Amino acid sequence: MSAPLSYFITTLGCVKNQADSRQMALSLQKRGLVLAADATTADVHVINSCAFIESARRETIAAILEAYDARQQTDQKLVVAGCFSQRYANEIKTELPEVDLAFGTGQYAAAGSLIVDRFEWQERLQEQEAGQRPALQSSPGSDLARLTRAGVSSRQSSSALETVWAPIKISDGCNRGCSFCAIPAMRGPFQSLAVDAILDEARLLIAQGVREICLVSQDTNHFGGQTEALVDLICRLDEIPGLEWQRLLYMYPDPLSLAVYRQLAPLKLRSFVPYLESPVQHVAPRVLRAMKRYGSMEFFTDFFGEIRSLYDQLEIRTALLCGFPTEGPAEVDAALQFIETVRPEKLALFSYSAEEGTAAWGLADPVPADEKACRVNLLRAAHLQVLQELHLQRLGRRYNCMIDKIDSDSTLTARRPQDAPDIDEQVFVELDPAARRHHWQPGQIVPLEINGFFEYDMSGRLVLESK
């Protein structure tokens, strides 16, 4: 009897892709495929792609060619799913013969059938099913659930990611129409996912050891068409036993996000962390107009200021896009002033890359690449100054942190509630002899006192109750 048909998923791009890869893993398992030990030995290798900007496209193409060269079985099937396939379906056919099958962003849940039908694996799977495996049941403790969670690997993810936190997608697509953004062309118009499906997925993940859920989408505050729907979802998630933390990502900086945070504050939900991720992209009126984005320096200052006042020790992650057409020295100064006034704890900085098919494509790309890089470095230096001052204020403070991973018997890595997985600061802890006698678990909440910092990350010590 030949080995069961196996798959492996490599996930590129944003955290939302991890949620989509998990859906594809579930779909493949339901057809009887099992997780391969690694990408090179799988019968089918699926690359969940990204095509957001030029550098992401290059990474996807490199991953495809690398996967093709690295495969140990020459009859391995290579599949490309997601944004790159959605945007370049024809080009893949003509320019990437290495790819055996490509499907877009709306077909993750159908991955199993698309792949089995394309490669005519029905008979082989029936034999496999008859000869080898009991029927698969989708109950939390089942193999399926364990395999589901372990079905994907991501280039940038560490092993710990697969144990303590998981992204759950609550909607797909976007209707905002920011002039620089190609995502709506790849993900389509906004649509919320079903509340029951989201809650089921959360229960499944929590039963498997996840202790933190990040709610992700392109446009999170539009979930359910009204703010009450998102607030209600967060309240229902808060009731699930075993969930320690829940976090909102991709909250567009507008009155809708403000309304959500205003409605949640008095509820003082046990699991809702004091964290706001809200990318402004820019603050100068001329640039915001050209980006077709909402907001102003005044609105952002009030927006972040009010949300900070509603939650104890809330921290902010935002993003600035540098070098957009219409950005001149005055606009860069406005961005600097924003950093010094609003003092976001976390700041993502990007260089504008003109995207064909977007409204901004017509504006050309007048800012030279090296000038964009200078502006990014200027803003980064300003933010590092702010972060240095914030780090000094954090010294000696205590936080109930989540253990992400146990590195060895004397060190562990953790995060404060104010730090999102994979993108924000971590706290490194050296365990003293007394602490080493304890059996620590990823996902456990432990009291840490910050006693040092690096450029971004921090160090801390466990605050153990003296017997």
Strand partners, 8: 45
Collapsed DSSP state (helix, strand, coil) of residue 380: helix
Q: Which is nearer to ligand SF4, 12 or 183 (CB)?
A: 183
**116, 183, 234, 264: which one contacts ligand SF4 (CB under 6 A)?**
183
Total interface residues for ligand SF4 by CB under 6 A: 10
Kindly tell me which residue out of 181, 336, 387, 448 binds ligand SF4, with binding defined by CB under 6 A. 181
**Least distance from ligand SF4 to the Cβ atom of residue 177, Å:** 6
- Three-class secondary structure of residue 1 per DSSP: coil
Closer residue to ligand SF4 (CB): 46 or 251: 251
Site stretch for ligand SF4 (CB under 6 A), options 68-76, 118-126, 176-184, 384-392:
176-184
Nearest to 200 by CA among 218, 213, 216: 213
In whole angstroms, the minimum distance from the beta carbon of 50 to ligand SF4 comes to 13
Task: Tell me if 422 sits within 8 A of 161, measured CB to CB.
Answer: yes
- The three-class DSSP label of residue 247 is strand
Query: Is 176 or 203 the residue whose CB approaches ligand SF4 more closely?
Result: 176
Determine the Cα–Cα distance for residues 300 and 227; give it in Å rounded to an integer: 19
Cβ distance 18 to 423 under 8 Å?
A: no
Give min distance, CB of 335 to ligand SF4, in A. Answer: 17
- Give the nearest distance from C-beta 386 to ligand SF4 in angstroms: 24
- The stretches of 80-139 forming alpha helices (DSSP H) are 83-87, 89-95, 111-118, 122-131
CB count within 10 Å of CB 104 equals 20
- Asked if 176 touches ligand SF4 (CB under 6 A), the answer is yes
CB of residue 233 to ligand SF4, shortest distance in Å: 20
x-marked contacts with ligand SF4 along 208-247 as a string, rule CB under 6 A: ----------xx----------------------------
Measured distance CA(43)–CA(22) in Å, rounded: 18
Question: Between residues 8 and 261, which has the closer beta carbon with respect to ligand SF4?
Answer: 261
Closer residue to ligand SF4 (CB): 178 or 216 = 178
C-alpha separations of 221 from 110, 209, 217, 248 in Å = 27, 27, 9, 9
Can residue 184 be called a binding residue for ligand SF4 (CB under 6 A)? yes
What tokens appear for 251 in the block?
């909250």
Question: Does 56 interact with ligand SF4 (rule: CB under 6 A)?
Answer: no
Task: Tell me: does residue 403 bind ligand SF4 (CB under 6 A).
Answer: no
| Phi, psi (deg, nearest 5) at residue 445 | -95, 125
Instruction: Pick out residues in 65-124 that bind ligand SF4 (CB under 6 A).
Output: none
Residue closest to 206 by CA, chosen among 291, 129, 148: 148
Parallel, antiparallel, or unpaired for β 315-322 and 346-351?
parallel
In the complex, the smallest distance separating the C-beta of residue 183 from ligand SF4, rounded to whole angstroms, is: 4
In terms of CB distance, is 54 or 95 closer to ligand SF4? 54
Q: Which residues contact 370 (CB under 8 A, 6 or more apart)?
A: none
| Region binding ligand SF4 by CB under 6 A among candidate stretches 171-179, 241-249, 299-307, 388-396 | 171-179
Judged by CB under 6 A, does residue 253 bind ligand SF4? Answer: no
Q: Which of 189/396 has CB closer to ligand SF4? A: 189
In 3D space, the residue among 357, 346, 290 whose CA is nearest the CA of residue 320 turns out to be 346
Pick 177 or 255: Cβ nearer ligand SF4: 177
52 binds ligand SF4 (CB under 6 A): no
Choose, by CB under 6 A, the member of 80, 114, 166, 174 that binds ligand SF4: 174
* Residue nearer to ligand SF4 on the CB measure, 210 or 258: 258
Return the SS3 of 210: coil
Least gap, CB of 218 to ligand SF4 (angstroms) = 4
Of 253, 237, 236, the residue nearest 245 (C-alpha):
237
Contact (Cβ atoms closer than 8 angstroms) between residue 174 and residue 190 = yes
Residue 449 three-state SS: strand
The phi and psi torsions of 412 (rounded to 5 degrees) equal -140, 160
Least Å distance, CB 352 to ligand SF4, is 12
For position 178 contacting ligand SF4 by CB under 6 A, the verdict is yes
The rounded distance, in Å, linking the Cα atoms of 176 and 184 is: 8
Q: Which of 88, 252, 300, 399 binds ligand SF4 (CB under 6 A)?
A: 252
| Pairing mode, strands 411-415 and 398-408 | antiparallel
| Sole window of 174-182, 258-266, 329-337, 439-447 interacting with ligand SF4 (rule: CB under 6 A) | 174-182
* Biggest CA-to-CA distance, the chain: 71
172 part of the interface to ligand SF4, by CB under 6 A = no
Q: Which positions touch ligand SF4 (CB under 6 A)?
A: 174, 176-178, 181, 183-184, 218-219, 252
